[in-house]
Amino acid sequence: MKTSVTLASIGFAFVFTGALGAELPDKGQNYFTCENSTLDLGEGHSYTLLKSKGLQTSGDPAHPNNIECYGTFEAMPDKSFKASGYCMITDLDGDKWLDRWWADSSTEKGHWEDTGISGKYKGLQGSKGNYVYTDVSTKSECKGVSNWEIENRWKSNR
């Protein structure tokens, strides 16, 4: 199975909703390049390790946040799939939050939830939503775009 086909169904959503003060759009996009490794398990069954990096431009397009992600994608012989992973998002100040994402073939959209890790995001939690990932890979490059929507915004755990 080609990696680009595998990636068409999964997504990564990384949403900066501000540190409780800044309100951002309820929708946005993220841009990724990827390196993947697929183990063929036979008869249409495969397991792919995903590694991607990219930019999150929803907060301030002139100053994007950096994203680094790892995850897995399992394709089943009946064409169903399940995928999940984690991403670390780092803003220009070096402050970080963790994004956990998951998707499977039973729903049209994937889901995500964020937890603050350091700096202005530390102690924040509860930001979550959904996403649709579009594979825009070429024969020579793995890449994609995630269109996300916010369902709940950050809450302070401090």
Whether residue 65 contacts residue 91, with contact meaning beta carbons closer than 8 Å, is answered with yes
Structural domain of residue 40, as residue ranges?
3-156
> Does 115 score more than 60 pLDDT?
yes
Total domain count for the chain?
1
Q: Can you tell me the distance from the alpha carbon of 96 to that of 118, in angstroms, rounded to the nearest whole number?
A: 5
The confidence band for 59, taking pLDDT boundaries of 50, 70 and 90, is: low
Q: Which helix (H) or strand (E) holds 101?
A: strand 96-104
pTM, two decimals, is 0.81
Write down the pLDDT at residue 132.
Answer: 93
Check which CATH number belongs to the domain holding 106 and give it. Answer: 2.40.350.10
Q: Can you tell me the distance from the alpha carbon of 90 to that of 100, in angstroms, rounded to the nearest whole number?
A: 15
